[in-house]
Structure 1
């Protein structure tokens, strides 16, 4: 009897040891090496496969949008995990970006696995063997490039399904490398679809004042809650949404009331209609400073102002002192008026021109007549489908009033609307310091687009241009 009891204890210890030794990587001790099988599979992939970048992967799906692309070639893509499902804010998915710092883009991976952070911890370098996988969207039209293990089709089109347990083991191969993911510093207005999946940091951010006393998740909602964040930009605010899942373990925490920074992954809403930020952990929110206050016009002297309220709807812009010039194509800036508001607009839709480039140049300003000059304006967009459909602002001190292309134009940094903004939502440029210039200064707006490329046939509007001097 004693012998049988002893054997039971030994067997119990052996089972316990075997169980512990087979547990996947945990949060406390993420191993620096993989098992022999995974290491061998990774070595074989590198030796026999062809490496492609994330843009190549995206183009595979772009070749037949709406229909998931089945990869048949022995190719692989490398990425660094940017998200974590440890807190429950991501579910059976992870994002990865193409570099641990200064990334150019990201991809989403859907897998039939819970607590994937144990295996695919943030910063882990992952090689994805793409052969036998599908590239597409998890929901039709959401615009998130996703790697999945199968497909489903309905009346709306085709989507990718999660990688099964065997595909996870065979196609998602970790290296021994775990890098620190350095957040990409951006402003709200700079975030585009190219940043989906990227770990970013926004500074000078706070939650909207009407959210004071509320929590990350609204208990009356079922799945996700969006909370409005804002940053001060000149005389107004730029806004963006933070989305929190009902499964996040921090959902009941109060929203901070101060100003500071937030680090999060760029994601999209369920239907893909808007970009949002999603937290890996609430510790990535640091808002302990005083809230910001937009600038007050009463603290400045207005040197020049154009609100375009004299605009004659649907005519070519011909305001006194302004230059309206087409560098390429037939289109020029137009005067538009909508619901009592006048503005200047450059639209390439229906022009029939392969390239449309339009310049709108202000009158000249005597920069020696006062000090501490700033400019400010608002801008909006509609039907914008690509970041290549651009608006820029420049200044020149050698423009002669007529030869636009013969002048030297220096670019200015300003906040402009992107696809993330609603159509006709005017965005404040921020207060732009031009006090270092002397002589006669001209300000120019330049829009680049196309009348034959649907991705570049959007429109931009400019309104409320002012030249100011601080008092």
Structure 2
């Protein structure tokens, strides 16, 4: 009997020592320790001859639409965990983004690992040995590229098994502070999927007063409208919360402020949504924002292109129309009495077409606030190689676009998914970051010898507003 008691006592001591050794400094929230076996596996991966790192951007470039691709090369990818399943709002998945600050892209990792935050905590630097793994979509057509462990009969990617996760997804000792990427709701697009972002001037509509993040009548996800002040109005977005989220029945705040969350998609990929890691990432204890009043602003530059001559090279006072590469220029177009500017590389015969359309200047020093707004449309776009950029310059001399310094500004530029000839708002773009004399330019790039690259972009109702 004494022997049995002694054995039980010794086992208790050993168990206590073993448990304590797994957690440093008594911190049960962030797993800081790395087992010797895992550390050696990471060092072996990084020091194995012939293995090379691939960026998340280039890894996603290996994805073939509608297919699952096995990775047979000796490559690995590094990233920083941007999502957490600690609250139950994510399940058998986590995202990694390419940088803890100013990230540009992210990718999903699907796994049979449950409560992955215990190992792949928020901000953890991880390396994934990709050889023998797969890249594709979990649900075909959902638009979310994922790393998985196999393919199924529907050519969709399957979760990494526990063994695959432990052997291929390796932690470093580093847990970085993730700084959310500050964006407007109107700026969020597919490139942000998996990225941890922050939206300021946000709140929930008054119609949701007293509601909780999850609706008990929904068996799965609940979608709540989130809105933010954006220029002269509001931009709406979807906040999606799982039925299994521990904060699901927490009342949503009635005030305004900011929200930090991961950009994701609905189950079928039809809509972009925000998904919370934690309800603590909602900071809405202040007053709700108020949109700008357009009556406080004056239009200092305006062009609706209605006074043009159909199908001729655009020649409006103050506008600069330049063919940097190729012979094609922006043209004036009229349809049903509406005029607009258009660049189309169709049948130009040029291997490359680069065309610039530059607006009249505005003196920013004479105004405290300045915004630019315009309408954009497309038709016959068949490839992402056919692009439109919106740029600004404060050192353009009025003629030589190549000699000027140009900086891209974010705008809602049409894609192949948009209906042909359907104009959409390019967004109200704040020019407060610039000073001096400013020009706005539209730069088209395409080709007139490849039908995949010869689509067109259209511009209408250009305005610069200031006060």
**Fold shared by both chains (TM-score > 0.5):** yes
- After superposition, give the CA deviation of every residue in 1:211-268 in whole Å (9 maximum; x if it has no partner): 4443323444443233333333322334433222222122222333333222112222
1:390 and 2:385 correspond:
no
Contact 1:303 1:469 in 2 (8 A): yes
Aligned to 1:55: 57
CA distance in 1: counterparts of 2:359 and 2:249, whole angstroms: 51
Contact 1:258 1:289 in 2 (8 A): yes
TM-score, structure 1 as length reference? 0.80
Contact 1:192 1:420 in 2 (8 A): no
CA distance in 2: counterparts of 1:85 and 1:456, whole angstroms: 42
CA distance in 2: counterparts of 1:10 and 1:152, whole angstroms: 50
Q: Offset at 1:115?
A: 0.8
Q: How does 1:344-359 map to 2 (within 5 A)?
A: 344-346=341-343, 353-359=350-356
Q: Offset at 1:377?
A: 1.6
TM-score, structure 2 as length reference? 0.81
CA distance in 1: counterparts of 2:165 and 2:185, whole angstroms: 34
Q: Using a 3 Å threshold, how does the CA distance of structure 1 residues 4 and 240 change in structure 2: closer, same or farther?
A: same
| Aligned counterpart in structure 2 of residue 376 of structure 1, from 363, 372, 377 | 372
Aligned to 1:206: 203
Q: Using a 3 Å threshold, how does the CA distance of structure 1 residues 19 and 135 change in structure 2: closer, same or farther?
A: same
Gaps of 5+ in 1: none
Aligned to 2:120: 120
Q: How does 1:66-465 map to 2 (within 5 A)?
A: 66-154=66-154, 158-308=155-305, 315-316=311-312, 318=314, 320-321=316-317, 322-329=319-326, 330=328, 332-335=330-333, 343-346=340-343, 353-362=350-359, 374-382=370-378, 386=384, 389-394=387-392, 403=399, 405=401, 408=404, 411=407, 413=409, 415-417=411-413, 424-432=423-431, 437=436, 443-450=440-447, 460-465=457-462
- After superposition, give the CA deviation of every residue in 1:67-122 in whole Å (9 maximum; x if it has no partner): 32222343322222111001111110111122222333222111112111111111
Q: Using a 3 Å threshold, how does the CA distance of structure 1 residues 360 and 73 change in structure 2: closer, same or farther?
A: closer
Q: Using a 3 Å threshold, how does the CA distance of structure 1 residues 143 and 309 change in structure 2: closer, same or farther?
A: same
- After superposition, give the CA deviation of every residue in 1:390-429 in whole Å (9 maximum; x if it has no partner): 33143568655xx464774654746444669965431432
Aligned length: 457
Q: Offset at 1:351?
A: 6.3
CA distance in 1: counterparts of 2:369 and 2:31, whole angstroms: 57
Aligned-residue Cα RMSD (Å) equals 4.0
Gaps of 5+ in 2: none
Contact 1:377 1:462 in 2 (8 A): no
The DSSP-based 3-state class of the residue aligned with 2:140 is coil
Q: Using a 3 Å threshold, how does the CA distance of structure 1 residues 240 and 375 change in structure 2: closer, same or farther?
A: same
Q: Offset at 1:151?
A: 0.6
CA distance in 2: counterparts of 1:435 and 1:185, whole angstroms: 19
The DSSP-based 3-state class of the residue aligned with 2:33 is coil
The DSSP-based 3-state class of the residue aligned with 1:203 is strand
